[in-house]
Structure formats: C-alpha cells, structure tokens
Amino acid sequence: METPQNCPKCNKSSYVSKNGRRYNKFSIKQRYYCAYDNAWFTPDDGFSRMRFDPKIIMVAIDLFNKKLTLRSIKQHLLAFYHIDVSHITIRNWAIKYGKGKGQNLNSINSYANTSEMELFGAVRYIKKKREEMKI
C-alpha cells in the first residue's frame, strides 16, 4: 500500500486520504484530502503550472546543456515536435531546471526518456541547417 502524503498546510499524514484524480493535458495526478485542514492538495512533481509537456522541457534543457543556442533549440522543437516555444521560455526553463537544480531530480528523471540517438540526430540536423544558411 502506498504511504499517504503529508499535508502541505499542517504537515500531518494521519488525516490525509486519497480523494480522486486530477486530469490535466499531460498526465493524471492523484488528489489528496486533509480532514484536519479541510483542504485538497496535489503533490508537486517539479513541473507545476508548466504549460508544456515535461518531456519537451527536458529535451530543451538537455540540448541547452549540450551547448546549443537558444534559437537552435527553438528550431529543433518546432521541426521535430511541432511546438513553437520562445527562446526566452527555453532560457527560463534552463534557469529553473538546469544544472545545479537537483531538488526535483527524482521527478524530473522520470520524464527524461528521450533516447540519445534522437538527441544526437537533432544536433546533426541543427548543425546542417546552420551550414546551409551560411552558404
């Protein structure tokens, strides 16, 4: 049996029970109810209030850590995932979830199922496009 979550308000787990699920665009999240506070809550998975799929965010951060420019990452996401993301948004993701931000590492690693071959193919594609633009 799964251990109950601690309530974020009172920090007690003895009054917490499961109370349905919350469906959002990318996943299904377990909702909990705290009888002590009479409040509902959903545990934070590290991607709360994010508009884009966590997998897309992790791909962008991985490409950023491989020293690709923000605009080339934007082009990659548009070409391979058909998602138009601002380069400023990618920069904000890199600041929020980039290297040195290990507090949510367990939840973030669960989304990082992108294969290395896909990422290397993306790097080759972007480098090829850059060369074509220079000619």
Task: Return the domain boundaries, the chain.
Answer: 1-43, 54-134
In the chain, the amino acid numbered 15 is: Y
Q: Which residues contact 93 (CB under 8 A, 6 or more apart)?
A: 57, 60, 61, 64
DSSP annotation of 6:
P
The residues that bridge with 126 in the sheet, in sequence order, are none
Q: Which helix (H) or strand (E) holds 20?
A: strand 16-23
Q: What is the pTM of this model?
A: 0.58
Burial class (CB in 10 A: 0-12, 13-18, 19+), 112: middle
Q: Each residue of 70-108: pLDDT tens digit?
A: 999 999 999 999 999 999 999 998 888 876 554 344 444
3-state secondary structure of 77: helix
Phi/psi region, residue 85 (left: phi>0; alpha: psi -120 to 50; beta: rest), is beta
3-state secondary structure of 76: helix
Q: Each residue of 11-67: pLDDT tens digit?
A: 888 888 888 888 877 778 888 999 998 888 888 777 777 788 888 898 999 899 888
In the chain, the amino acid numbered 99 is: K
